[in-house]
Amino acid sequence: MEIQEKTIKAVPEPTLRRFPMYIQLLKRLKNENIRYISSNTIADELGLDSIQVRKDLSLTGTIGKPKLGLILMS
């Protein structure tokens, strides 16, 4: 049985500074019973570029569904 090692990547400081904004927004949307949110919507809400949002969230291992976005509620 082969065991693959996972590489731990350093998270850039600007990304770490944005994480609290993401958390606050996602909690608010979940409280509003929003089920899915796209990176474009997150970017618009926070005044960021959607590519930056996708890069930031990819560091968490979070995967969204195409055409739907990230799942906030199941």
Lowest-confidence region among 9-18, 45-54, 58-67:
58-67
Which residue, 32, 8, 21, is CA-closest to 57? 21
Average pLDDT value for the chain: 87
Percent of the chain with pLDDT over 90: 62
Q: Does position 63 have pLDDT exceeding 90, yes or no? A: no
Would you say 67 and 73 are in contact if contact means Cβ atoms under 8 Å apart? no
What pLDDT score was predicted for residue 49?
97
pLDDT at 7 over 80: no
CB distance 39 to 53 below 8 Å: yes
| pLDDT of 3 strictly over 80 | no
The pTM score is 0.80
